[in-house]
Chain A
Amino acid sequence: MLDIKNLKASIAGKSILKGISLHVKPGEIHAIMGPNGSGKSTLASVLAGREYVDITDGSVSYFGKDLLGMSAEDRAKEGIFLGFQYPIEIPGVSMVNFMKTAVNEKRKHHGMDPLSASDFLKLMREKKELVEIDSKLANRSVNEGFSGGEKKKNEIFQMAMLEPKLAILDETDSGLDIDALRIVANGVNKIKKSDNSFIVITHYQRLLDYIVPDVVHVLYDGRIVKTSGKELALELEAKGYDWIKKEVENDVVA
């Protein structure tokens, strides 16, 4: 569904992604790991359509379409979801109103009628239960005054509501205690179907105890330097990133 070819991108003239290629098939979970500053979040931003990132080379095709030519909202309506590393607060806008707008915009895009108020509330209730979100969260303003953990859980709830084909979770596990981590991971596992895919960006192996990836990539200095099965995550956890850095540097020297 997603085919990234030799993607290069920079922010304010500084080169961040230096040629990334990645192929995601329906139903796969890809984990992207890597040290700070390696370009993980930039990759997520590019896929979601943030405008401050300049694409300098390469292509991204999503179900055969040129993803980079699509606006952020069209990408969302076509099924791309970004779980934000730092979810944004929107004071005064209720979660209900926010989600209703989002869900109905997506339905409109696909030629469907908007959900009636009662159907929508029913859907919200179902999804709240599915991802074990406290009912009260949904009655508050979007992320306003939420704790770090609540914000992340709210991202998972929104993901459940929007049923994306490709969900990109940008360090959703950072700052979570073990209970919140479990709720987030369970949410992902429940939403996971045979035809939707996930790109899980994380620092740590511990999230991958709960979400089992099909493929693990290591991103370092704007490149994917290693790709392997889920055992790679364990190796990284045990040995840190230094050995990867050394390997890469040796390659450069060689």
Chain B
Amino acid sequence: MEKEQDRILDEVTSGEYKYGFYSDIEAEQIQKGLNEDVIKIISAKKEEPSWLLEFRLKAFRHWKTMKMPSWPNLKIPAIDYQDIIYYSAPRQKAKLNSLDEVDPELKKTFDKLGIPLEEQKHLAGVAVDAVLDSVSVKTTFRETLAEMGIIFCSFSDAVKEYPELVKRYMGTVVPYTDNFFAALNSAVFSDGSFCYVPKGVRCPMELSTYFRINAANTGQFERTLLVADEESYVSYLEGCTAPMRDENQLHAAIVEIIAEKNAEVKYSTVQNWYPGDKDGKGGIFNFVTKRGMCRGESSKISWTQIETGSAITWKYPSCILRGDNSIGEFYSVAVTNNYQQADTGTKMIHIGKNTKSTIVSKGISAGKGQNSYRGLVKVLKNAANARNFSQCDSLLLGDKCGAHTFPYLEVDNQTAVVEHEATTSKIGEDQIFYCNQRGISTEDAVALIVNGYAREVINKLPMEFAVEAQKLLQISLEGSVG
């Protein structure tokens, strides 16, 4: 029996990472290392206004006073921040006016990832901002969206074209002082996406950003800023992949969301960074700060994440429920296989009255993976009638992996109702055999059971991506049984 388990567990590790290719794209890079001159170079390359350079330098000076957090349940090898290239951009002849001018190699790269940059080839109803290494290479459907007053463009373009909006909102949800990686990102961020949905507009298509790390020895530091003005609605999706490499690469992003009165933002992530090989070599370190502010009353922010990639994941998409009657949601499936580690969860900060939050976290551990849920539910003194429901489930495949749950509750208002449920289960041999006996192979049985387990979260994704997410779960766990 044990031999059988070993065999099947070994098979798990044979699941191949499909996006591990490298594209030979001529890149413009700066020297390795991090200092004020490097930050000035990045800012100059992006032709930034002086207030933004000031912001970066302040962040950098603050970062130098900080230490990497040691509280996560993660084993993080020492990172030499001087050994990273902070800016790498595909070399382009001139400014682009039409798609014909995009480097064919670049186009090919995104085609291979299933993200065609031509609008007509694209999934109907999805607009994409494609980011390669440090820069956004193409944003589709910009004009279509602009007709409705929706701004969807790269962060760099936003700084140039809508400096007032950027200045008004950037850093208001995640200040550069927030944490070590947020400070680092604020100092060196190179690009990302910007979206503004004006008052009363329901964005008619899914907006998405596709992040791709290509160059070696670089880090990716992008910022996303999403503003939903009063009575508006937008659904946003991000995806990410990287080549297979033996060394680790750093990805430290910031996502800020602002929802004004009666606005609703759905933010979905399908994170599939290179997880490292089966022996734990290589892979992306994914240290991300994502936070949404329900500023207006009755606003709603909903995070959905499917985390299957990265060697190490450290992220806590959170909601600050400032407006009365505002709602925050967090739905997560995190998979750790082989030597992957994840410490992920959320923070729900109840400030306004009658605020509600829901947390559904599903961890799946296989191989030697370690999966931690860490969540904070905080109810402030004035948050009368706050409600929270948290459900944290862990599924173990095999006996070499681990699942951990760290729920934190801080309640300062007597009228709050906070519920927490947690379960840990294993895929049992009995379940597998039951499926086998009905003619379903072990592989298919695991996929069926895992997808059943994650269904509640996958159902929250936009339809087109739910199917992708299901397949991704299957690939990430190929053949695993407990």
- Interface positions, chain A 85-138, Cβ under 8 Å from B, are 87-88, 90-94, 97-98, 101-102, 105-106, 109
Q: Which of B21-29, B54-62, B92-100, B444-452 contacts A (4 or more CB under 8 A)?
A: B444-452
- Interface positions, chain A 19-58, Cβ under 8 Å from B, are 48-52
For B454, the chain A residues whose CB sits under 8 A away are: 92
Q: Quote the shortest CB–CB distance from B393 to chain A (angstroms).
A: 10
Contact call B434/A102, Cβ cutoff below 8 A: no
Q: How far is the CA of A102 from the CA of B436 in the complex (A)?
A: 9
Q: Which of A49, A87, A92, A106 contacts B452 (CB 8 A)?
A: A92
* A82 on interface, CB distance cutoff 8 Å: yes
Q: Quote the shortest CB–CB distance from A12 to chain B (angstroms).
A: 10
Q: Quote the shortest CB–CB distance from B287 to chain A (angstroms).
A: 31
Contact call A98/B448, Cβ cutoff below 8 A: yes
Q: Quote the shortest CB–CB distance from A225 to chain B (angstroms).
A: 28
Q: Which of B233-241, B242-250, B425-433 contacts A (4 or more CB under 8 A)?
A: B425-433
* B75 on interface, CB distance cutoff 8 Å: no
Choose among A98, A109, A141 the residue with the greatest number of B CB atoms under 10 Å from its CB. A98
Of chain B, the residue at the smallest CB distance from A144 is: B452
Contact call B436/A71, Cβ cutoff below 8 A: yes
Q: How far is the CA of A75 from the CA of B449 in the complex (A)?
A: 21
* A73 on interface, CB distance cutoff 8 Å: yes
Q: Which of B428, B441, B451 contacts A73 (CB 8 A)?
A: B441
* B439 on interface, CB distance cutoff 8 Å: yes
Q: Quote the shortest CB–CB distance from A217 to chain B (angstroms).
A: 23
* A244 on interface, CB distance cutoff 8 Å: no
* B437 on interface, CB distance cutoff 8 Å: yes
Q: Quote the shortest CB–CB distance from A215 to chain B (angstroms).
A: 24
Known: A51-B1, A101-B444. A90 touches B439 (CB 8 A): no
For A92, the chain B residues whose CB sits under 8 A away are: 449, 451-456
Q: How far is the CA of A82 from the CA of B456 in the complex (A)?
A: 31
Known: A73-B441, A92-B455, A92-B456. A97 touches B448 (CB 8 A): yes
Contact call B439/A77, Cβ cutoff below 8 A: yes
Q: Which of B430, B440, B448 contacts A88 (CB 8 A)?
A: B430
Contact call A101/B448, Cβ cutoff below 8 A: yes
* B121 on interface, CB distance cutoff 8 Å: no
Contact call B433/A87, Cβ cutoff below 8 A: no
Interface range, A side:
20 to 34
Q: Quote the shortest CB–CB distance from B474 to chain A (angstroms).
A: 13
Q: Quote the shortest CB–CB distance from A11 to chain B (angstroms).
A: 11
Q: Quote the shortest CB–CB distance from A67 to chain B (angstroms).
A: 14
- Interface positions, chain B 402-438, Cβ under 8 Å from A, are 428, 430-431, 433-438
Q: How far is the CA of A76 from the CA of B453 in the complex (A)?
A: 25
* A181 on interface, CB distance cutoff 8 Å: no
Q: How far is the CA of A92 from the CA of B434 in the complex (A)?
A: 15
Contact call A93/B452, Cβ cutoff below 8 A: yes
Contact call B428/A102, Cβ cutoff below 8 A: no
Contact call A50/B433, Cβ cutoff below 8 A: yes
Q: Which of A49, A84, A91, A101 contacts B440 (CB 8 A)?
A: A101
* A72 on interface, CB distance cutoff 8 Å: yes
Contact call B437/A105, Cβ cutoff below 8 A: no
Q: Which of A52, A88, A109, A141 contacts B439 (CB 8 A)?
A: A109
* A197 on interface, CB distance cutoff 8 Å: no
Contact call A76/B438, Cβ cutoff below 8 A: yes
Q: How far is the CA of A183 from the CA of B438 in the complex (A)?
A: 22
Q: Quote the shortest CB–CB distance from B392 to chain A (angstroms).
A: 15
Q: Which of B1, B436, B452 contacts A76 (CB 8 A)?
A: B436
For B431, the chain A residues whose CB sits under 8 A away are: 88, 90
Contact call A73/B434, Cβ cutoff below 8 A: no
* B4 on interface, CB distance cutoff 8 Å: yes
For B438, the chain A residues whose CB sits under 8 A away are: 76, 98, 102, 158, 162
Contact call B452/A90, Cβ cutoff below 8 A: yes
For A101, the chain B residues whose CB sits under 8 A away are: 440, 444, 448
For A102, the chain B residues whose CB sits under 8 A away are: 435, 438-440
For A84, the chain B residues whose CB sits under 8 A away are: 434, 437
Q: Quote the shortest CB–CB distance from A115 to chain B (angstroms).
A: 14
For B434, the chain A residues whose CB sits under 8 A away are: 84, 87-88, 90
Q: How far is the CA of A87 from the CA of B454 in the complex (A)?
A: 22
Q: How far is the CA of A66 from the CA of B26 in the complex (A)?
A: 61
Contact call B430/A91, Cβ cutoff below 8 A: no
Known: A73-B441, A101-B444. A91 touches B452 (CB 8 A): yes
For B449, the chain A residues whose CB sits under 8 A away are: 90, 92-93
Q: Quote the shortest CB–CB distance from A108 to chain B (angstroms).
A: 9
Q: How far is the CA of A93 from the CA of B1 in the complex (A)?
A: 26
Known: A73-B439, A98-B438, A109-B439. A88 touches B428 (CB 8 A): yes
For A71, the chain B residues whose CB sits under 8 A away are: 436
Of chain B, the residue at the smallest CB distance from A103 is: B439
Q: How far is the CA of A49 from the CA of B452 in the complex (A)?
A: 25
Contact call B440/A51, Cβ cutoff below 8 A: no
Q: How far is the CA of A112 from the CA of B255 in the complex (A)?
A: 50
Q: How far is the CA of A48 from the CA of B1 in the complex (A)?
A: 16
For B430, the chain A residues whose CB sits under 8 A away are: 88
Q: How far is the CA of A102 from the CA of B435 in the complex (A)?
A: 8
Of chain B, the residue at the smallest CB distance from A75 is: B437
For A88, the chain B residues whose CB sits under 8 A away are: 428, 430-431, 433-434
Known: A91-B453, A92-B452, A97-B448. A162 touches B439 (CB 8 A): yes
Choose among B4, B431, B437, B448 the residue with the greatest number of A CB atoms under 10 Å from its CB. B437
Contact call B455/A73, Cβ cutoff below 8 A: no
Choose among B436, B442, B453 the residue with the greatest number of A CB atoms under 10 Å from its CB. B436
For B444, the chain A residues whose CB sits under 8 A away are: 101, 105
Q: Which of A75, A77, A93 contacts B448 (CB 8 A)?
A: A93
Q: How far is the CA of A183 from the CA of B441 in the complex (A)?
A: 30
For B1, the chain A residues whose CB sits under 8 A away are: 51-52
Contact call B448/A105, Cβ cutoff below 8 A: no
Q: How far is the CA of A94 from the CA of B449 in the complex (A)?
A: 10
Contact call B452/A73, Cβ cutoff below 8 A: no
Q: How far is the CA of A97 from the CA of B456 in the complex (A)?
A: 15
Of chain B, the residue at the smallest CB distance from A88 is: B434
Beyond A102-B435, A102-B439, 7 additional pairs, beta carbon < 8 A: A73-B441, A91-B452, A93-B451, A93-B452, A105-B444, A106-B439, A158-B438
Task: Point out residues on A near B: beta carbons under 8 Å.
Answer: 48-52, 71-73, 75-77, 81-82, 84, 87-88, 90-94, 97-98, 101-102, 105-106, 109, 141, 158, 162
Could you give 14 example pairs across A and B, Cβ below 8 Å? Answer: A72-B436, A72-B437, A73-B440, A82-B437, A91-B453, A92-B454, A93-B448, A93-B449, A93-B451, A93-B452, A94-B452, A98-B440, A98-B448, A141-B452
Give me the 6 closest cross-chain CB pairs, A-B, nearest first: A92-B452, A93-B452, A76-B439, A72-B436, A102-B438, A88-B434
